[in-house]
């Protein structure tokens, strides 16, 4: 790839702004993942209740992404991003100063979903500046903002332990949100190719297309797997291996790093060899790793397995969004919200599957086996649909077509 050509083809300040917005939002979105094992000291929870607590922010993000996706097309990704950061401050202040019951904490958890909805504004802000041949890399760089998870898993429990209060973590999280809001407001800029505002009927038109649902399925596994694991692994390490809250979060950090920082690599490789090829390999890796995890081996072995599995999920996120903008060039705001919502739903169900099966069977093995089977099923799905994609809108293996040919194919 020609680095200078990539930089000249888009708007670097907006790309950086999209990354930072997504990064701090993701940090806030998964705040209750590592903190759940600390919150237990104030509000005792069984396995199913812990799963509910960490799943609710993902559910909230899934629902609100549709709203932010619509707003992105109506008022633009910059204004939508600014609104998203302002609204994110509400559950942070509530969690910091006013929560006094598990029921209220559930409400705060659901409201944290507005941070997860940042996906619907951050990615269009970046992608609309770049041509098809650089979509994978641009979306991968912006999407690497899921690295915000690393800051949460690394520092949240340490801060809670230092201050003797998990509530103070919510208060301190306001600082990076405010800083990024100022940076974003100054440097982010909507693309001059901003499409005209969409109507609600346009959502219906997109939802009628088969490929919309296919991408929803694929992304619910890659992104849903990443964010669901990011939120639940601290509980897993704490419960299965008896690690302290801080050490459990540290092991989660190791796994999260893989998924976060390899997302741009997945997008870049998808640009080079094709998103279809990438996804078939990555789903196979995820399926195999989770099948091995289901055996619940030693801590060192399972950390390696989860690291590789999370790396494949992160690269899969970048690979899916190498394909999406090519298929839905004119509806990128709408489709980002819809597919992002599906990814959130996948992340919501993952902790529920692991937590509820742990509660009912006493073991994590059945849950990981089910997740492995779902990943492997995606390979069959792609195998079935790839020929029709190649005939209509995509090149060999999922590479981008020439822009003129592509516009004709999807029109």
Helix axes 210-241, 245-261, angle to 10 degrees: 150
DSSP 326-352: HH-STTHHHHHHHHHHHHHHHHHHHHH
pLDDT score recorded for residue 108:
97
The residue-averaged pLDDT of 203-211 equals: 91
pLDDT at 5 over 50: yes
Give pTM, 2 decimals: 0.88
**pLDDT tens, residue by residue, 54-93:** 999 999 999 898 888 888 888 899 999 999 999 999 999 9
pLDDT score recorded for residue 367:
97
The residue-averaged pLDDT of 305-331 equals: 91
Q: How far apart are CA 130 and CA 141, in angstroms?
A: 12
Band (pLDDT 50/70/90 cuts) for residue 312 is: very high
Higher pLDDT, 328 or 240: 240
Band (pLDDT 50/70/90 cuts) for residue 392 is: confident
Cβ atoms within 10 Å, residue 4: 7
pLDDT score recorded for residue 151:
93
Q: How far apart are CA 362 and CA 40, in angstroms?
A: 19
pLDDT score recorded for residue 402:
63
Q: How far apart are CA 23 and CA 28, in angstroms?
A: 9
pLDDT score recorded for residue 193:
77
Residues near 103 by beta carbon (within 8 Å), at least 6 away in sequence: none
- Please say whether the beta carbons of 190 and 125 come within 8 A: yes
**pLDDT tens, residue by residue, 250-289:** 999 999 999 888 888 888 899 889 999 999 999 999 999 9
pLDDT score recorded for residue 203:
81
pLDDT score recorded for residue 2:
61
Share of the chain above pLDDT 70, in %: 95
Which range in 60-69, 111-120, 203-212, 300-309 is most confidently predicted, on average pLDDT?
Answer: 300-309
- Three-state SS letters, 351-392: HHHHHHHHHHHCCCHHHHHHHHHHHHHHHHHHHHHHHHHHHH
pLDDT at 405 over 60: no
How far CA 183 is from CA of 18, 29, 124, in Å, comes to 11, 20, 18
Q: Which of 251, 290, 311, 250 is nearest to 373 (CA)?
A: 290
Mean pLDDT of the chain: 90
Buried b (16+ CB within 10 A) or exposed e, 52-79: bbbbbbbbbbbbbbbbbbbbbbeebbbb
How far CA 317 is from CA of 139, 172, 306, 362, in Å, comes to 10, 29, 16, 32
Place of tokens 């080079």: 272
CB burial of residue 410 (10 Å; 0-12, 13-18, 19+): middle
**pLDDT tens, residue by residue, 99-119:** 999 999 999 999 999 998 997
pLDDT score recorded for residue 70:
81
Cβ atoms within 10 Å, residue 396: 12
The residue-averaged pLDDT of 161-190 equals: 96
How far CA 304 is from CA of 28, 217, 301, 351, 399, in Å, comes to 26, 27, 5, 20, 31
- Please say whether the beta carbons of 146 and 225 come within 8 A: no
The residue-averaged pLDDT of 349-371 equals: 97
Band (pLDDT 50/70/90 cuts) for residue 128 is: confident
- Please say whether the beta carbons of 118 and 84 come within 8 A: yes
pLDDT score recorded for residue 411:
47
């Amino acid at each position: 790839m020609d680095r200078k050509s990539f930089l000249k083809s888009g708007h670097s300040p907006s790309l950086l702004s999209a990354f930072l917005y997504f990064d701090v939002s993701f940090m806030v979105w998964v705040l209750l993942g590592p903190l759940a094992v600390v919150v237990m000291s104030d509000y005792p929870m069984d396995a199913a209740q812990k799963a509910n607590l960490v799943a609710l922010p993902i559910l909230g993000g899934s629902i609100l992404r549709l709203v932010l996706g619509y707003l992105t097309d109506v008022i633009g990704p910059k204004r939508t991003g600014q609104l998203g950061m302002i609204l994110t401050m509400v559950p942070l202040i509530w969690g910091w100063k006013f929560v006094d019951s598990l029921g209220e904490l559930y409400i705060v958890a659901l409201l944290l979903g507005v941070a997860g909805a940042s996906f619907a504004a951050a990615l269009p802000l970046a992608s609309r500046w770049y041509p098809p041949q650089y979509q994978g890399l641009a979306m991968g760089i912006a999407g690497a903002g899921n690295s915000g998870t690393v800051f949460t898993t690394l520092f949240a429990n340490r801060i809670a332990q230092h201050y003797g209060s998990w509530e103070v973590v919510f208060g301190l999280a306001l600082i990076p949100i405010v800083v990024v809001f100022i940076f974003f407001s100054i440097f982010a800029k909507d693309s001059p190719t901003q499409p005209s505002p969409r109507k609600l009927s346009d959502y219906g038109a997109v939802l009628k297309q088969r490929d919309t649902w296919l991408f929803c399925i694929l992304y619910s596994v890659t992104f849903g797997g990443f964010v669901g694991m990011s939120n639940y692994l601290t509980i897993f390490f704490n419960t299965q291996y008896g690690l302290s809250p801080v050490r459990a979060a540290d092991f989660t950090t190791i796994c999260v790093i893989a998924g976060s920082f390899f997302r741009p690599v997945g997008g870049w490789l998808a640009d080079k060899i094709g998103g279809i090829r990438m996804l078939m390999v990555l789903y196979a890796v995820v399926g195999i790793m989770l099948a091995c995890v289901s055996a619940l081996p030693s801590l060192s072995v399972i950390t390696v397995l989860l690291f590789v599995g999370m790396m494949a999920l992160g690269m899969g996120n970048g690979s899916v969004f190498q394909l999406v903008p090519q298929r839905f060039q004119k509806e990128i705001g709408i489709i980002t919200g819809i597919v992002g919502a599906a990814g959130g739903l996948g992340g919501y169900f993952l902790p529920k599957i692991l937590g509820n099966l742990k509660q009912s069977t006493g073991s994590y093995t059945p849950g990981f086996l089910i997740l492995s089977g779902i990943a492997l099923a995606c390979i069959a799905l792609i195998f079935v649909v790839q020929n029709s994609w190649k005939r209509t809108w995509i090149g060999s293996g999922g590479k981008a077509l020439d822009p003129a040919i592509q516009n004709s194919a999807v029109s």
